Amino acid sequence: MEFTFYKGVIAYQGTNYKGWQSQKRGDTLQEAFEKMILYLWGITVPVQAASRTDAGVHAEGQVIKIFLPMIPIPVLLRLVNNHLPSDIATISLEFCDLKFSPRFDAKKKKYCYTITKKRPLPWDAPFCYHCTDFFDESKLYDMASVFIGKQDFASFGSHLEHGKNTVKEIFFIEINEVMPAVYQIFVTGDSFLRYMVRRMVGGILRATTKKYSKEWLIDTLESKNPRNHCYKVPADGLCLKSVEY
């Protein structure tokens, strides 16, 4: 049987996974795909992804590069999805070049963070952050505007990424009240540091309160200190919406 590389778009609920990347402890999304390939075709091939989403983070438009047999794509999609856990779905597959890198060829990534001031219904709870602390929703966009542009985001990444390039560009930030007291913050950028969106959202929320301010948020950004006390919101509310090439 002949095999080739495919570009795939996948969706998943990240609640039960320790993130995308394989690790020694806990189930990961990468392992789920590699186990599926091993079970169906008896080969072990690493599956690459555009974003190494963290534990608990969801995706609607994660992009992967995967090595699969050359059979009709509708048949291949059915086979793959029938042998993946029910909280993972492969949306589409298309042939791709051997040199294609879902991570390094990406031009834009779009994330969405969902916050609710009211207690969510049980089926919504895994996909949003129930924020019980006060924040002023009327100030959200003004605070978020601090992050637009090309800047050093070291203060909003992880100290574990010491030595990496921390200069990133945020193209757009959009904030919508999708239901009464439910807000979605969409962030589109060229790439992101580990925890970056979650720490940005934490900073935005905190800056709207009386104890903090826009100036505090600007000073935090300019300090380039990942060990600051900027709050990192929970993973539940974060979803990778799309990746552009």
Mean pLDDT of the region 124-143: 96
The predicted pLDDT at position 23 comes to 85
Given a cut of 90, is residue 38 above it in pLDDT? Answer: yes
Distance CA 229, CA 209 (A): 15
Q: How far is CA 204 from the centre of its chain?
A: 18
Q: How far is CA 94 from the centre of its chain?
A: 22
Among 54, 97, 152, 236, the active-site one is: 54
- 98 versus 228: the higher-pLDDT residue is 98
pLDDT above 70 coverage of the chain, percent: 98
The predicted pLDDT at position 224 comes to 92
Mean pLDDT of the region 228-243: 93
Domains and CATH numbers, the chain: 3-95 (3.30.70.580), 108-244 (3.30.70.660)
Band of residue 226 on the pLDDT scale cut at 50, 70, 90 = confident
For residue 170, give the nearest of 185, 143, 151, 195 by alpha carbon.
Answer: 151
Find the distance separating the first CA and the last CA of the chain, reported in whole Å.
Answer: 30
- The DSSP-derived string for 64-102 is EEEEEESS-HHHHHHHHHHTS-TTEEEEEEEE--TT--T
pLDDT above 90 coverage of the chain, percent: 91
- 161 versus 37: the higher-pLDDT residue is 37
Name residue 44's amino acid: T
For residue 159, give the nearest of 204, 187, 199, 111 by alpha carbon.
Answer: 199
Mean pLDDT of the region 86-110: 97
Given a cut of 80, is residue 55 above it in pLDDT? Answer: yes
- Kindly report, residue by residue over 206-215, the tens digit of the pLDDT: 999 999 999 9
Contact call for residues 12 and 81 (beta carbons, < 8 A): no
Mean pLDDT of the region 182-193: 97
Mean pLDDT of the region 27-37: 96
The predicted pLDDT at position 24 comes to 79
∠ at Cα 9 (168, 234), nearest 5°?
A: 55
pTM: 0.94
The predicted pLDDT at position 227 comes to 84
Given a cut of 90, is residue 182 above it in pLDDT? Answer: yes
The predicted pLDDT at position 170 comes to 98
The predicted pLDDT at position 192 comes to 96
The predicted pLDDT at position 160 comes to 67
Average pLDDT taken over every residue of the chain: 95
- The DSSP-derived string for 1-62 is --EEEEEEEEEE-GGGSS-SS--SSS--HHHHHHHHHHHHHS-----EES--PPTT-EEEEE
Given a cut of 80, is residue 161 above it in pLDDT? Answer: no
Q: How far is CA 61 from the centre of its chain?
A: 9
- Kindly report, residue by residue over 7-23, the tens digit of the pLDDT: 999 999 999 999 999 88
Note if 87 is an active site residue.
no
